[in-house]
Amino acid sequence: MSTSSTTSTMAPNKEFTLIVAATNRMGVGKGGGLPWTGLRKEMAYFARVTKRAGPGKTNAVVMGRKTWESIPLKYRPLAKRANYMISRTQSSNSSDIDLGPDAHAGTSLTDALEKLEFRTQSKETNNENEKEIDRVFIIGGGQIYTAALELKQAKRILLTRILEDFECDTYFPVELKEDGTGKDWRRRDTQALREWTGEGEDVEGVKEEGGVKYIFEMWERVEES
C-alpha cells in the first residue's frame, strides 16, 4: 500500500472520466448507499468499461473513503484496476485505513491524479498497480465528484440515468437534463458512447431490471472557444 501526507502544487494534466448512476434529479445516494438495488447488468457494464484498457496497461478508479467502504469487503480493491482511495484523514503515520493489497491512499484528488499521471510501467508484471495507467475513472462519492468537476481535466461523464424517482439525500453536482442539455456539457449519441467504451449494441435503448428502468449516456465537456 502506498500513502501520501502531502499535496503537490503541480497541476495534473491527465484527463479523466466521471462514471455515475443518477436519477433525473441527479440523485446518487441515500443514507450512505444506493437507493436502488439489484441492477446487476448495470454493475457489469461499470466493471467492463472501467477494466477495458489498452495493451499492457491498466485503468484506475479513484474514490472517496465512503465509496471505498461501501464496496463489499470481498470485492475490494476492485479487481484488474488500480485503486486509489482519498481520505482527508489519511497520513503516512495513520493505521486506521486498511486498504489491503494493490490499493493506494492519498489526502486529495490532486494527489491521486499526480501519482497516476507520472506512473509508468517499469517491468513486465501482472500487478495492476505496476502497469502504466491508461484511463482514469472517478467513481464517487459526492465530494469527490464535486472536486473532480472543478478541474479542467474532467472531460467526460458516463451517466447511467435511472428513470425511476428514488428519494435521495446525495446529488451529483452537475445537472444533466433528460433532453440532452446541461451547462458546459453536451450529451453525445449512442454511437459515440459505443466507440469510446468499446461496448456493443446492448448499451442502446432503455434497460429494465427489477422494475427499475435506466439508460446509458455519455456527456462531454463543451470546450471554450
Report how far residue 103's alpha carbon sits from residue 79's, in angstroms, rounded to the nearest whole number.
10
Sequence spans of domains, the chain: 16-221
Cell triple for 74: 470481498
Q: How confident is the model at residue 92 (pLDDT cuts 50, 70, 90)?
A: very low
Report how far residue 113's alpha carbon sits from residue 137's, in angstroms, rounded to the nearest whole number.
10
Residue of 34, 130, 175, 204 with catalytic role: 34
* Residues 51-83 pLDDT 10s: 999 998 999 999 999 999 999 999 999 999 999
Question: In CATH, what number does 16-221 get?
Answer: 3.40.430.10
pLDDT for the residue 119: 72
For the chain, how many residues are written? 225
Report how far residue 125's alpha carbon sits from residue 91's, in angstroms, rounded to the nearest whole number.
28
Question: 6 pLDDT exceeds 50?
Answer: no
Report how far residue 219's alpha carbon sits from residue 190's, in angstroms, rounded to the nearest whole number.
11
Q: How confident is the model at residue 127 (pLDDT cuts 50, 70, 90)?
A: low
Active site residue 34: yes
Active site residue 39: no
Residue of 18, 39, 42, 217 with catalytic role: 42
Task: Name the percent of the chain in helix, strand, coil, to the closest 5.
Answer: 20, 30, 50
